[in-house]
Amino acid sequence: MTMKQLPLYLVCLIFLWACSDNKPTQSVKKPVKEAVEVPDFNADSAYLYIQQQVDFGPRFVSSKGWQECGDFLVEKLKTYTPHVQEQNSPIKTYDGKSHTLRNIIASFSPEKNNRILLCAHWDTRHVADYDVERQNEPILGANDGGSGVGVLIELARLLSQQQSRIGVDIILFDAEDYGNPDGDGSSMTSSWCIGSQYWGNNPHTTDYYAQYGILLDMVAAKDARFTHEGLSRTYAQRILKKVWSEAHRLGYGSYFVYQPTPQIIDDHYFVNTLANIPTIDIIEYDNNTATGFNKHWHTHGDDMRNIDKNTLKAVGQTVTSVVYKE
């Protein structure tokens, strides 16, 4: 039977079917996930910021170096954001001396309700109680104090150049390291971390809240190892996983190890318990020392020779990546 012998309506149906069958299938466009541009953390810059702090000498509360370095930090942060403030309050330390507390706070995108908190302490130890000599003399605190601050100032510089999608508050706590020496009989917990205790009870803005916090303490020694510290596991397990996963993705797994270690009283304890912000502590743990801290901890060996740019890069790039991916 020829085409002409077919009923006209059937011919039309065949023709329409043939035409529609040859049309290209229209694909459904899937939403494309926006790539996040993470800036490069400059370890040389962070190293310089540590050196500039150390150049002021020991920076224990009320000392000349503390006053001058505090002024420097405030002015430096003001070059990166206009939203810089100080918290000042009279305090009394374990030795009965009176001081004025000086927390330094820099905010980025303060109008955003969705925020994260980054913090470190900027003061240094007033005695070298773990040294074998000159124990009554203050230390330079390049790593213990200076390193966390150096990383955060570099991150502040990056935030001033490329805004993150989330609000960021950087807090430099004062009087973290003016606690009583071991074994003198006074309360260990309350004599340390005075700045974070004050801030936890008196946040810099009314009803302040952040999704989470990251504390940096002793983050620059050569071949440092950062572990899952006990309080961080208790209060902020999810944040530990987030940060350590990002560090491993970036290739810094040799620094950020999946090892549970004992809890320590650091500024994050009071951020967690007083401000109720889940906060982790990125802090070196050394299995080879009696204290578990860096071998130069609270000694005169904590100078610029204790600072390694590779470690600064590992910590700084990890935190930067976490911030910009939020």
Distant-in-sequence, close-in-space partners of 207: CB < 8 Å, separation ≥ 6:
none
**Could you tell me the domains of the chain?**
39-325 (3.40.630.10)
| Gap between the Cα atoms of 254 and 272, Å rounded | 28
> Does the pTM of the predicted model rise above 0.85?
yes
By DSSP bridging, strand 167-173 and strand 115-121 are parallel
- Euclidean distance between CA atoms 210 and 200, whole angstroms: 13
- Cα dist from 297 to 170, 174, 285, whole Å: 24, 18, 11
Local confidence pLDDT in tens for the 326 residues of the chain: 334 344 444 444 444 444 444 444 444 445 444 578 999 999 999 999 999 999 999 999 999 999 999 999 999 999 999 999 999 999 999 999 999 999 999 999 999 999 999 999 999 999 999 999 999 999 999 999 999 999 999 999 999 999 999 999 999 999 999 999 874 444 467 899 999 999 999 999 999 999 999 999 999 999 999 999 999 999 999 999 999 999 999 999 999 999 999 999 999 999 999 999 999 999 999 999 999 999 999 999 999 999 999 999 999 999 999 999 99
Tokens 């899952």 map to which residue? Answer: 228
